[in-house]
Structure 1
């Protein structure tokens, strides 16, 4: 009796093969779908993350660079207004002093910082406007490398002299300089600042030579007059008046178009025969390229701070008049200042090495 061998059921094998192929194809389709989805996520993820980051801004402390030393008027402004603005932003604002080169070092540090809103700065006329005409190789362009946030405050300069000069007014000072060209020094907080430009105007009128001695901060400049290293200085009242009230210096004129309410008996430069008026102003800036939503948040916080009644009172007590506004207004003001001081700088031949 022969045993009948059973042959494999080929139809069953065929069915298994078909099912396996279907499973593999299905898996391949899933992988292709996942790959496509991942690619889209990569392409779309960057702008979404940036938008989310701006929406969450600020998520950490903000560094506010001051290009002058501690105790200077920009430093006082930064700490007073920055502290109030931090309450609106919900994050600390940490002040960093980076003095030197008439404000160029600190202002340049802001220009070169990452445009993410976590490094901003305050600065003044020289490094934001005048130094573009004075420095041959300025390491930044304030009109291209910085983004205005808001104008801060106006503050007129006062011209203070050493008691050793024995002068009581501008007329007497100018006569003394005419008779003694090159004998006296004046302190400044750097080339291109109002502290220099106001003295250069006096030099031009007296046809005399007075040596400029620049200092890294207004307190250092004031101390140089008291110690006798220099004999006169044109600075914001905040830096000068404590020493004047202590009897160590004497104020003879103010640079503003009108007399200061806090110093009604001190005449203006124009009243004293010097055709000049100007403000040692302060503004707030960020690196160029900082996203507009971040600039808008910073603007809103700093403007609110400078409109707070308590802050306004404190600023005015420091001889500062707040005038916050939009970034566009601040930019227009900077351009107007360049048009105003440019001819004076060129006529005086003011240059820095």
Structure 2
């Protein structure tokens, strides 16, 4: 190496040392400058459930559109287990740099804290909210040969014969089980809960008439309702859904009844505000993209695209809402 090149190399090295020392001296003040270049590499979106469900579908639709806007890939990583707790706990403990985020749900951030005796994260304090993406309605259905044709008729039948009728759900402690428990509580009726290992087996038995009533995700039941294999009595959201405008909301009979599944993005607590702002911006843009919105509406998902503050409020509200319902149901998981 020539003397000239050696001198240049020493100058560059010295400049790097000076820059590093300056960054160290600034400490936290340097963090926003670093975050302004976010993202500089792919972002991992952890879905805390197996592939193929509605949460996974929402994640993949949104991740693909976010990738286009960010100029970096948003990679979906399914980490199923413990009702969503495994994936959520992984993100809670991840480096708070915006490069590992979670597709949270009503299960991970509202139900599981009340259901599980031991849980590795705090739904409120271990995450930085990014955006509520979509609400997915549930639906109350019955076998077409069942006597009730409306929510009120079902309530009247159940009051006349307490404990005579049963309802199916996708499992103990699931959002659908607890949708049924809230229905019972507000209606003042006694229905017997029959838990299944997933919506699929429950649908089979309700269609066959083995169990007369079911609470299910709208996406799972939509085709069966359209084909006449199930009779829908009401959607569980406070308002009717666009895909079934003639189907009443249960709240029209039971004021205050409002349950639904939701999907929202969270980052680990301590993630730089600039990274949260950027992720929020591209996530909101993604769910409002006409193509994405149309695909989401195919299974009755209602797009939201909230602010981080609105999502934080939702988590507080949902935790307060579901804790007593879980307790009353007696459902608990070790």
Q: What TM-score, normalized to structure 1?
A: 0.76
Alignment partner of 1:86 out of 42, 67, 70:
67
Matches within 5 A, 1:13-162: 43-45=21-23, 54-162=35-143
Identify the match of residue 248 of structure 2 among 267, 276, 279: 267
Give the distance between the partners of 1:232 and 1:118, measured in 2 at CA.
43
Number of aligned residue pairs: give it: 319
**Which has the larger displacement, 162-171 or 252-261?**
162-171
In structure 2, the CA distance between the partners of 1:307 and 1:264, relative to structure 1 (3 Å rule), is closer
Relative to structure 1, is the Cα distance of residues 166 and 141 closer, same or farther in structure 2, using a 3 angstrom cutoff? same
- Report which stretch shifted further, 201-210 or 288-297: 201-210
Task: State how far apart, in whole Å, the 2-side matches of 1:100 and 1:253 are.
Answer: 31
Question: SS state of the match for residue 260, structure 1?
Answer: coil
Structure 2 counterparts to residues 1-353 of structure 1, below 5 A:
43-45=21-23, 54-163=35-144, 165=146, 167-171=148-152, 173-174=154-155, 179=161, 181=163, 184=166, 186-188=168-170, 191=173, 193=175, 195-204=176-185, 205=187, 207-213=189-195, 215=197, 222=203, 225=206, 232-273=213-254, 276-353=257-334
What is the CA distance between 1:295 and its match in structure 2?
1.4
* Cα distance, 1:60 vs structure 2: 2.8
Which residue of structure 1 aligns with residue 3 of structure 2? none
Does the residue aligned with 1:280 lie in a helix, a strand or coil? strand
Tell me, in whole angstroms, the C-alpha distance in 1 between the residues paired with 2:201 and 2:79: 15
Offset at residue 102 of structure 1 (A): 2.8
Q: Is the 8 A contact 1:155 1:280 kept in 2?
A: yes
Q: CA deviation at 1:149?
A: 0.7
Contact 2:48 2:86 in 1 (8 A): yes
Distance change >3 Å, CA 95–CA 294, structure 1 → 2: same
Question: What are the superposed Cα offsets for residues 99-141 of structure 1, whole Å, 9 maximum, x if unpaired?
Answer: 3333222222222222222221212112112322332211111
Q: Distance in 1 between matches of 2:145 and 2:86?
A: 34
Uncovered stretches (5+) of structure 2, i.e. residues with no partner: 1-12
Name the CA distance, whole Å, in 1 between partners of 2:81 and 2:165: 27
Task: Supply the RMSD in Å over aligned alpha carbons.
Answer: 3.5
1:37-70 alpha-carbon deviations (Å, 9 max, x no partner): 9976554455598666534432332221222333
What's the CA shift for 1:307?
Answer: 2.3
In terms of mean alpha carbon deviation, does 165-174 or 73-82 score higher?
Answer: 165-174
Deviation (angstroms), 1:212: 4.5
Question: In 2, distance between residues paired with 1:135 and 1:152?
Answer: 25
Give, in whole Å, the separation in 1 of the partners of 2:81 and 2:157: 32
Q: 2: distance between equivalents of 1:152 and 1:92?
A: 19
The two structures have a TM-score, normalised by structure 2, of 0.80
List alignment gaps of at least 5 residues for structure 1. Answer: 1-34
Deviation digits for residues 273-297 of structure 1 (CA, Å, limit 9, x no counterpart): 5851233222111111222221121
Contact persistence 2:102–2:265 (CA under 8 A): yes
Deviation at 1:249, TM superposition (A): 2.9
Q: Is the 8 A contact 2:32 2:274 kept in 1?
A: no
CA distance in 2, matches of 1:226, 1:185: 12
